[in-house]
Amino acid sequence: MACRWHVTGLSSARIHEPEIDPDAMRSTRNPLAALSALALAACASSAGPASHPAAPDGTPPPAATADERPRAPTPTDGAAPTFSRAQADRGRDTFRATCTECHHSGEFTDARFKYRWSGRSAGNLYQFIQTSMPETAPGSLRPEQAVELVSYILRMNGFQPGAGELTSDRAVLDGISLAPIRGN
């Protein structure tokens, strides 16, 4: 989405302009940072009208529809991971047989894990497991074992199982954001 700037006299449509506290601007130690923050605020405040500009007669844009309203992220945002309960259970069994020598399941739901992985995809997690685990024999897991472990970790982090199985296709896995784990 592009940022639109309102320049008085050049546009008949009014775009919401953020209120600026001049004293706060003067007291900042870094004027460039203050200007950057101001520019970001202006872009953020113009996001709504950019998709529905006001009519030339000045009537306001229509209210956002339910499809346009922002909503809180859920574990199914983006490409919804499809894994079955049985697949996650197999992942749990693989975890117990292969991973508990070095790991406990709580490591995959704690704040450190969420911080490290919330900006990545299920594909990144799969690749890491596939190439680096177990620590005693990296790369020894079969692709279906690695994807079952990913399914188990997703379930532990609030993703809901469905009817289908998660595939080891990296393109599919890369489309599954782990960002929702941050809020769980």
pLDDT band (50, 70, 90) for residue 60: low
* Average pLDDT across the chain, whole number: 73
Tokens encoding 180? 């929702």
pLDDT band (50, 70, 90) for residue 27: very low
72-130 confidence digits (pLDDT tens): 334 434 456 789 999 999 999 999 999 999 999 999 999 999 999 999 999 999 999 99
pLDDT attached to residue 130: 97
Contact 154, 83 (CB under 8 A): yes
Measured in whole angstroms, how far is the alpha carbon of residue 1 from the centre of its chain? 17
What does the pLDDT average to over 5-15?
37
Question: For residue 133, how many C-alpha atoms fall within 13 Å in the half-sphere facing its CB?
Answer: 22
What does the pLDDT average to over 138-153?
97
Of 37-51, 101-115, 124-138, give the lowest mean pLDDT range: 37-51
pLDDT of 19 higher than 60: no
SS3 84: strand
Dump strand ranges (E) for the chain.
none
What b/e readout covers 39-55, taking b as 16+ CB neighbours within 10 angstroms?
Answer: eeebbebbeebeeeeee
Of 25-29, 146-150, 174-178, give the lowest mean pLDDT range: 25-29
Backbone angles phi, psi at 181, to 5 degrees: -65, -20
pLDDT of 37 higher than 80: no
**Residues facing 84 on adjacent strands:** 162
Q: Domain residues of the chain, as ranges?
A: 1-68, 85-183
